[in-house]
Copies of this chain bind each other. A is one copy, B any other.
Amino acid sequence: MDFNIIRCARAILHVTDLDASRNFYVDALGFIETEADDAHIYLRGLEEHTHHSLVLKKADEPCVEALGYKVSSSDDLKALSELFEMKGFTTKWFQKGEQHAVGETLRVQDVSGMPLEFFAEIDSVERLLQRYDLYKGSRMQRIDHFNYMVSDVEAAFNFYNKDLGFACSEYTDTENDDIWAAWLHRKQTVHDLALMNGKGPRLHHVAFWLPDPLAIIHTCDVLASLGYGENIERGPGRHGLSNAFFLYLRDPDGHRIELYNGDYLTSDPDFKPIRWDINDPMRQTFWGHEAPDCWFNEASAVLNVLTGKKVEQKQGKLKQHKPTFII
């Protein structure tokens, strides 16, 4: 591979009411608002030295415009573009200046139909990690990963693992040795990207990293105090997979946000991916709690990077799988 994808870097979400979004993300969750205009809010976490990791864009209906990955240099963009074209994907370029705060950008629909973008440059801003006086709500630190719901996990797995060089940290296997879900990473954490079988392409969630487990408990308390109790969809709990201490929220437009703490270092090339049986009840929730149906069924529609239209969805190839517990 002659390119280096660094990490997942930003999500562009379409939302219908910027004020409602700001109340949720900035006032309640404690994201830092780097900048905003009539049509956008640019948000980042306290640890981030980059301009933003979340763009909320005013639109008529909630959707995912693009999921952005940072690469090392503009040469990487060229090499990626060549790879995509060789494989028959149509790409689209934004020149520097066309997207606020971000350099030259390559967009492409991935093998599952997810709208990706790649860029090497993003404006630097003051990192606020040691401005503890600004910590509030969830004490939001940084973007961590995306979770895609796709109809063909195996195809997506091969695309990211073989073509783009993502390593696998953990995966869920069916009785027939089909990969039902996979945790893939470029940076040295458990994931930049998780794939799960289901109606897709859809974005299941964007995940952000918090500094300690109490930050998750405090987030619940703050959300409830502000009347956002119903936005807490699942958790807090511990995933068996990834060992994350998690909380799933739904934003005012229904986009799902995961907040979590935990993780482990995945620096070693000889680390063997951890296999989970799809029927292991500790896989989804280490403590045995059942996830609500909506967590399995609902996700955000995504846009075509060329046409701007919604991408059509297909059912997951594998059977739907909410684990059944005998409690």
Contacts and interface: CB of A to CB of B under 8 A. Distances in A.
Contact of A220 (B6, B124, B287): B287
A189 B229 CA distance: 27
A72 B130 contact: no
Nearest to A292: B327
A289 B220 CA distance: 11
B226 A282 contact: no
Interface in A139-157: 141-142
A254 interface: no
Contact of A28 (B131, B133, B261): B133
A269 B134 CA distance: 27
A282 B229 contact: yes
Nearest to A233: B327
A70 B268 contact: yes
Given A213-B217, A286-B224, A49 B268 contact: yes
Contacts of A87: none
Interface stretch (A91-99, A200-208, A236-244): A236-244
A210 to B, nearest CB: 11
A221 B287 CA distance: 7
A230 B286 contact: no
A130 B232 contact: no
Contacts of A50: 268
B270 A124 contact: yes
Interface string A75-111: 0000000000000000000000000000000000000
B132 A230 contact: no
Nearest to A121: B270
Contacts of A70: 268
A236 to B, nearest CB: 7
B225 A133 contact: yes
A58 interface: no
A135 B137 CA distance: 9
Contacts of A72: 269
Most buried by B among A226, A240, A265: A265
